[in-house]
Chains A and B, each alone.
Chain A
Amino acid sequence: MAQELGYLKETPSQTAGPYVHIGLTPNFCGIAGVYDADLGSSMVNDRTLGERITIKGRVFDGAGAPLKDALVEIWQADAAGFYNSPSEIRGAADPSFTGWGRCPTSAEDGVFAFETVKPGRVPFKDGRLMAPHITFWIVARGINIGLHTRMYFPDEGAANDEDPLLARIEHRERVATLIAAREGSTYLFDIHLQGPEETVFLDI
């Protein structure tokens, strides 16, 4: 017998269920007075550095219907390419930018939206720069384990072409599922859980 490694098993995931908004955005769903504001509802303030952008989109199921009970979180670097996190040891992030946002999809049309800044580039493990990107995490009723993906920018063609993660996508036509569309200062990023346009999701 060898020594025991003694690692624990990760707690298994369970669906966020139909009422994830009660727990994570109670003010949004009419439970007022418990928290001052819903966490993650604001990422920027007057002093935040960088180019202001809006990200908007919907999450579609395999029948093409938008999810109206989903919750989307994003995590990103600041405009200079630093994360507001203790594990960021390359430099100090903009203190006026949280880097993290949370938005419920609306009960009317399933739209989520974030007011944020365009992130700077951050290095891959081997030091090459990744293209500017935003990490997405999606939970909802019917999603048994939160889905990770990334949004990239359509106006960063050269950076996208050399991005190490995008380079790993075997079926090249699927790269487009991770690249937003631009309309002025708004980036449109729809997520497809299934079907011919299924988004590339990450096990990362």
Chain B
Amino acid sequence: MSEMPNRKPETGAFFPRDRNWHPPAFAPGYKTSVLRSPQRALLSLDGTISEITGPIFGHSVLGELDNDLIHNFAKPGESAIGERIIVHGRVLDERGRPVSGALLEFWQANAGGRYRHKKESYLAPLDPNFGGCGRTITDENGYYAFRTIKPGPYPWPNGVNDWRPAHIHFSVFGHGFAQRLITQMYFEGDPMIWKCPIVNTIPDRQAIEQLVAPLDWANTIPMDARAYRFDIVLRGRRSTLFENRLEGN
């Protein structure tokens, strides 16, 4: 199952989460959170072996087109409609170390802002060549890349006239289950980011900006696809120099 570089496995507990940097569970501007947010305090505890460990996914789980949303649902010889883009970046931890072997899964609406889902009711049409999901695994430097089309913005029932800015959903596994993270990537320069009640569940503007991918002109492929750069930071972990009890000492 594992394909790890030749490095001693790390067994330290993860840095505590900065809960003021993340959105709070209860954020009434995002109405669905009202009944889905725990109201009691979380039980805070230093990580145990149950959270320090986590599943690792080998490259064998990946299919050839998993990181190409333009083609992974398209009929042979056809491709998804929309602005062709490459999304790439690194997965690091809070210490700035690359996280290798991290499974990234992503999903998104099509170029018109429509999801391929039976509960989706937006009048924008489906693209017969676009499924909307993909995945990849970071290399030894924590680097990843995938190809897709830029998703469209879409309206959603919350306020009378709420729209989601263009975004890509990301799910990330690091090396420990405590690092498990789901987030969304936005696109530089989109004025709708700042109007969105889901974006605005995050209290700190700098934290929001951490989710905004800049246009990466240097990596744009001429006559093909523009690049956006999106780095992801997972929880760091303590060195175990002075706490090696798990090793049985």
- CB pair A142 B30 closer than 8 Å: yes
Report how far A140 CA is from B171 CA in the complex, Å. 12
The verdict on A184 contacting chain B, using a C-beta distance below 8 Å, is: no
Pick out which of these stretches binds chain A: B56-64, B78-86, B142-150.
Answer: B56-64
Q: Which of chain A's residues have a CB closer than 8 A to the CB of B135?
A: 35
- Whether the pair A23, B11 counts as a contact (CB closer than 8 A) is no
Q: Is the CB of A89 within 8 A of B247?
A: yes
Are the C-beta atoms of A83 and B36 separated by less than 8 Å?
no
The CA-CA distance from A168 to B44 in the complex, in Å, is 9
B18 at the interface (CB under 8 A from A): yes
Interface residues of chain A: helix, strand, loop or mixed (majority): loop
Given known A-B contacts A86-B56, A144-B25, A193-B37, A14 and B235 have beta carbons under 8 A apart? no
User: Is A159 on the interface with B (CB-CB < 8 A)?
Assistant: no
Q: Is the CB of A6 within 8 A of B96?
A: yes
Residues of A4-45 at the interface with B, using a CB-CB cut-off of 8 Å, are: 6-24, 26, 29-31, 33-36, 39
Answer yes or no: A180 CB below 8 A from chain B CBs: no
If the complex has contacts A88-B53, A90-B248, are A34 and B131 also in contact, measured as CB distance less than 8 A?
A: yes
B117 close to A144 (CB less than 8 A): no
Q: Across the interface, do B177 and A135 meet the contact criterion of CB distance under 8 Å?
A: yes
Check: A117 CB closer than 8 A to any chain B CB: no
B52 at the interface (CB under 8 A from A): yes
A83 vs chain B, min Cβ distance (A): 4
Q: What is the minimal beta-carbon distance from B187 to any residue of chain A, in angstroms?
A: 14
Alpha-carbon separation in the docked complex, A76 to B117 (Å): 31
Q: In the complex, how many angstroms separate the beta carbon of A41 from the nearest chain B beta carbon?
A: 12
**Any chain B CB within 8 A of the CB of A53?**
no
A98 CA to B210 CA, complexed, in Å: 33
Contact across chains for B246 and A8 when beta carbons are under 8 A apart? no
Docked complex Cα distance between A189 and B129 (Å): 40
- Give the Cβ gap from B42 to chain A, nearest Cβ, in Å: 4
Say yes or no for B111: interface residue by CB 8 A criterion: no
In the complex, the answer to whether B53 meets A13 with C-beta atoms within 8 Å is no
Q: State whether A35 touches B66 (Cβ < 8 A).
A: yes
Q: Contact: A193 with B35, CB < 8 Å?
A: yes
What residues of A have a CB within 8 angstroms of the CB of B17 in the complex? 10, 203
Q: Could you write out 6 A-B pairs with CB less than 8 Å apart?
A: A9-B206, A12-B211, A62-B35, A88-B9, A144-B22, A144-B37
Binding site for A on B (CB under 8 A): 1-2, 4, 9-11, 13, 15-19, 21-25, 27, 30, 32-40, 42-57, 61, 63, 65-66, 72-73, 92-96, 105-107, 115-120, 131-135, 169, 171, 175-178, 180-184, 198-199, 201-202, 206-208, 210-211, 232-236, 243, 245-248
Residues of A at under 8 Å CB distance from B? 6-24, 26, 29-31, 33-36, 39, 61-63, 67, 69, 73, 75-77, 83-90, 95, 98-100, 107, 122-127, 130, 133, 135, 137, 139-148, 150, 165, 168-169, 174, 193-194, 198-204
10 smallest A-B Cβ distances: which pairs?
A23-B107, A142-B32, A142-B36, A85-B53, A100-B55, A203-B42, A62-B35, A83-B53, A144-B23, A14-B184
